Structure 1
Amino acid sequence: MRITVQRVLSDGDSTASVVSVDGERLCYGLEDEPRRMKVAGETRIPAGIYQVGVHTAGSLHERYSRNVFADIHRGMLHVLDVPGFGWILIHCGVTDEHTSGCLLVGDDVITTHGAMRLVDSPSAYRRLYERVIGAALAGVLSIEFVDDDLEAAAA
């Protein structure tokens, strides 16, 4: 099973994307901006294909286990083995201030330059999580990040 994150628009703070699972559009994504030199917690991960595992420690895991996702939560979706990056998760959030390099998901994305934000993140997260958690636990989930935003900017 594969999650595809098609990055479609970047500004100086954020990157908006379309998130699909096995070719079916499921939601939108928001990440930090691209940078030539990594700045901790302020840089999106490089384009590529990575495995997704399940992380069962930390404050987000504890919060999701006890609160709004307690009925489905079995661990955080964790993007593995990204060179130069660690603890890249898929989770809820609204703006790039909530990412620290992670992928946020939402039902819609507002693409106002300098103020991108997601709409209804918990609903999108629940839908994505329920769709992929079994594959992540089985070790057969990957995620591909595609930089269509950089190609559009160069054209």
Structure 2
Amino acid sequence: MKRFLKYISVFGFIVGFGQVQAQTEFGLIGGLNLTFFDVIEGDFGPNATVDVGYYGGFFADIEVDNGFHFQPELLYIGIADFRFINAPLYLKYDINNNFHILVGPSLNYFFDFFTNNFKVRADVALAYDITARLNIHLKYTLGIEELSPDVMFLGLGYRL
């Protein structure tokens, strides 16, 4: 739990530092996620199962340089019986005015997910600005560790 609080503190510092910058925007984010579990069942081979869940939280979009942004997010995620906190730290690049690509690590704290509660994963995302305030995004999180499934997110973001 101390480790989790440390990461939340770092996230708060980054967001607080971003408030000093002239081009920082904040917003809400949420949607559905699809979690892909790979299960080996004896001699029958791999049997991928998919669970549908939800997520919601907030983000800060900090302009670093022309076309480059730093976008930390803090999300609460629910999948079946699992609940966890996800904190992706994206480097965002503007492909054009409305289309963006985001890549970076995500820090995850699982509530009662076996014995290892903290996991680091890799994220890649595409976002499209529908309006100046509303965007749609598609994210993919790659589970690097053995018990860390891959997750696809589809949702909306709203700039405040």
- TM above 0.5: no
In our comparison, the structure showing a higher alpha carbon Rg is 2
State the TM-score, normalizing by the size of structure 1: 0.29
Structure with the higher fraction of residues in helix conformation? 1
